[in-house]
Structure 1
Amino acid sequence: MRGPLAALLAALLLVTGCDAGTPPITGTPTATGPAPLSTGSPPALAPAASPPSAVGSPTAVLPGPTGHFSATDIAWLQLSVAMAERLLPMLDLVPDRTTDPAWRRLAIRIGTSERTHLTRSRRLLADSGAPVVNPHEGHDMPGMVTDAELTALRSVTGRTFHHLVAGHLRAHLTQSVRIATAERRVGTDPATIALAAAVVRAGTADLARLDHLDRSPTLTTVPAPPQ
């Protein structure tokens, strides 16, 4: 990963970070776009581009149609979008990898919720005036399904598939709830805080459903496709 560190998001520093295999790079945000995450200690989320006077200030706000967006609001929205975009392709695999109706129902439920939150996050980012580009493109962070993991899921079915999906879902939901909880504490835009509250509620409920399903015996499976 390349780019400067951001020092804006103190409330989120302990709950997210990039791929631990990448060395940290220090610096200050520029006005050309949002800075990516770093793996320094502690890890930090990148803020969206800010006016020069706002750089380095965690309380700086950007005016938008729905309210005033802090760097924390924007960074949380950007990360939420990136995480959802990684999760949805995995959920789309479920109907073809298992015939277990319980797993199918859970995938549909979570997929519907994630798409709703993704739409709202993108709309709020547009309202904030933040760049439309994904600053986390290519980053592997906690709660994100990697390309390698998605490839592995395409090669298995049945119990193995359920086990892998459960692990990825639990990591995603747990991280989503953690960072949304932080956004609720320190965010400034009312609509963004309301979305974070919705994410916490949905994620907590889905974790409980996942825990129940993951303890249940697998019902039926589909055979693995020919290689």
Structure 2
Amino acid sequence: MRPQRQPRLTILLLAGLLAACQQAPAPAPPPPSTTQNGYGTTERAFVELAIATDEQALKLLELTDRTELKENRAVELTELRKLLDAPYVNQHAGHDMPGMPTDAEIQLAATSPDAREQFVRTHLTESLEVVRSAAAAITHPPTAEVVRLMERHRTAELAAG
């Protein structure tokens, strides 16, 4: 024989479940974070990555006589920093990311002209891929303009050899 408490417990559980089913549904998750002007998390992530990549690239390019590349990275950095909506913190320091020369590569490039040329070409080709991917995802017009600038730079730099 079952004790008398069992039916009361079952009734209480069922009543709780029914009450829960009658509550309003949970609100939908908010859309990806976007400010009123369209600068959102995608744009900020790209800008932060591009700044980190260009800063590392400048270290590599300082080892070359390729003035145009150094000037292009400096222009890009200026334009990218204008897009920031908060202080810049390098979230990518020490990372091995496509298009971003590592400290070890920069050290090797300082002693090996062949390695230096290889790392410059790798920076150009891989960062062009990143920029082209960003172009498909960026919706904020000023950020998209900087992405197009970066794509023009990389394309011309690769064509120049």
TM-score normalised per structure 2: 0.75
Give per-residue Cα distances to partners, 1:52-82, cap 9 Å, x unaligned.
Answer: x75xx5x43134xxx3212211111111001
Show the counterpart of 2:137. Answer: 186
Show the counterpart of 2:18. Answer: none
- Counterpart among 143, 162, 170 of residue 121 in structure 2: 170
In 1: Cα distance, 2:33 partner to 2:89 partner: 21
In 1: Cα distance, 2:105 partner to 2:134 partner: 28
Show the counterpart of 2:101. Answer: 145
In 1: Cα distance, 2:104 partner to 2:141 partner: 37
Show the counterpart of 2:24. Answer: none
Give per-residue Cα distances to partners, 1:146-202, cap 9 Å, x unaligned.
Answer: 11112222223xxxx0x2222112221122222222222221210000010111111
In 2: Cα distance, 1:117 partner to 1:76 partner: 13
In 2: Cα distance, 1:81 partner to 1:169 partner: 17
In 1: Cα distance, 2:63 partner to 2:104 partner: 14
Q: For residue 62 of structure 1, what is the amino acid of its counterpart?
A: T
Show the counterpart of 2:146. Answer: 195
Alignment length (residue pairs): 133
Show the counterpart of 2:33. Answer: 60
Are the counterparts in 1 of residues 100 and 123 from structure 2 also a CA contact under 8 Å?
A: yes
Q: For residue 83 of structure 1, what is the amino acid of its counterpart?
A: T
Moved beyond 4 Å, runs of 4+ = none
- Counterpart among 69, 76, 79 of residue 120 in structure 1: 79
In 2: Cα distance, 1:174 partner to 1:92 partner: 19
Gaps of 5+ in 1: 1-52, 95-103, 211-227
Are the counterparts in 1 of residues 49 and 92 from structure 2 also a CA contact under 8 Å?
A: yes
Are the counterparts in 1 of residues 51 and 80 from structure 2 also a CA contact under 8 Å?
A: yes
In 2: Cα distance, 1:155 partner to 1:174 partner: 22
Provide the alpha-carbon RMSD of the alignment: 1.7
In 1: Cα distance, 2:117 partner to 2:42 partner: 29
In 1: Cα distance, 2:149 partner to 2:125 partner: 14
Q: For residue 164 of structure 1, what is the amino acid of its counterpart?
A: A
What does residue range 42-57 of structure 1 map to in structure 2 within 5 Å? none
Gaps of 5+ in 2: 1-28
Q: For residue 193 of structure 1, what is the amino acid of its counterpart?
A: A
User: 1:111 Cα deviation (Å)?
Assistant: 0.6
Are 1:83 and 2:34 matched, yes or no? no
Q: For residue 151 of structure 1, what is the amino acid of its counterpart?
A: Q
Higher helix share: 2
Q: For residue 144 of structure 1, what is the amino acid of its counterpart?
A: M
